[in-house]
C-alpha cells in the first residue's frame, strides 16, 4: 500500500516538475511547482520525516513560492508573449545533457548490488531537537547569521532612492 502511494507521488512530483519547467507562463509554472512540492512533502512524511514535511509545506510552498508570485505580480512579468521563453535551440543541448546525466546515474544505481535495508526506527521530535541544539549548535548560529545577512541585504537592495 505504502509502496503504491510512493510511486504515485513520485510520478506526480516528476510530471509536475516537468510541466513547471516547460510552462511558458511564470505564474502557471509556480503553481505546477507548488503541486510538485506538496507531493514531495507527502513523500517526506512516508520517509519518516514529519517535521521536514511540515516545513516543506509551510516554508517552501507557503512562503518561498508566494514570494515568487508576489515578485512576478509586482514586476508584471506574466507576459509569455514577450519572447523570453526558450526555443528548441535552447532546449536541445539542455535535454541532451540532462538525458546523458540521468542515464549514467540510473546505470550506476542499477548496477550496484542492492543492499537489504534494516527496519530503521523513526527519530522523534525530541531526539531531533537534542541533536540540533547539542551537536549542531554552531550550524544553528551560522544559519541565523546568514538569515540576518539576507535580511539586511534585501533591505539594502530594495530601498528607494
Partner 1 sequence: MIVPLEHILILAGLLFFIGMGGLLAWRANLIMMLVCIEVMLNAVMLVFVAGSARWGNADGQLFAVFIMALTSAEVSLALAMVVYLHRRRKTVDTDMFSEMKG
Q: Which of residues 114-133 bind partner 1 (CB under 8 A)?
A: 114-115, 117-123, 127-128, 131-132
The size of the interface with partner 1 (CB under 8 A), counted in residues, is 82
CB of 24 to partner 1, least distance (A): 10
Among 6, 12, 28, 57, binds partner 1 (CB under 8 A): 6
* Cα(35)–Cα(56) distance, integer angstroms: 12
* Residue 64 CB neighbours (<10 A): 14
Q: Binding to partner 1 by residue 8, rule CB under 8 A?
A: no
x/- map, 33-72, partner 1, by CB under 8 A: x--xx--x--xx-xxxx-xx--xx--xx--xx--xx--xx
Among 73, 79, 137, 147, binds partner 1 (CB under 8 A): 147
Alpha carbon 44 to its chain's center? 12
CB of 145 to partner 1, least distance (A): 10
Q: Binding to partner 1 by residue 17, rule CB under 8 A?
A: yes
DSSP code per residue over 140-158: HHHHHHHHHHHHHHHHHHT
Lookup result for grid cell 508576489: 70
29: CB partners within 8 A, 6+ apart: 20, 21, 23
Amino acid at each position: 500500500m505504502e509502496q503504491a502511494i510512493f510511486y504515485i507521488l513520485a510520478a506526480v512530483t516528476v510530471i509536475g516538475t516537468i510541466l513547471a519547467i516547460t510552462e511558458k507562463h511564470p505564474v502557471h509554472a509556480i503553481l505546477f511547482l507548488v503541486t510538485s512540492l506538496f507531493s514531495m512533502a507527502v513523500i517526506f512524511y512516508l520517509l519518516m520525516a514529519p517535521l521536514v514535511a511540515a516545513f516543506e509545506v509551510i516554508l517552501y510552498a507557503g512562503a518561498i513560492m508566494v514570494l515568487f508570485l508576489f515578485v512576478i505580480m509586482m514586476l508584471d512579468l506574466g507576459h509569455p508573449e514577450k519572447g523570453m521563453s526558450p526555443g528548441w535551440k535552447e532546449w536541445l543541448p539542455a535535454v541532451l545533457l540532462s538525458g546523458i546525466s540521468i542515464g549514467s546515474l540510473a546505470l550506476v544505481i542499477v548496477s550496484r548490488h542492492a543492499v537489504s535495508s534494516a527496519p530503521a526506527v523513526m527519530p522523534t521530535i525530541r531526539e531531533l531537537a537534542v541533536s540540533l541544539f547539542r551537536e549542531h549548535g554552531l550550524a544553528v548560529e551560522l544559519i541565523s547569521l546568514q538569515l540576518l545577512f539576507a535580511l539586511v541585504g534585501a533591505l539594502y537592495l530594495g530601498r528607494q532612492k
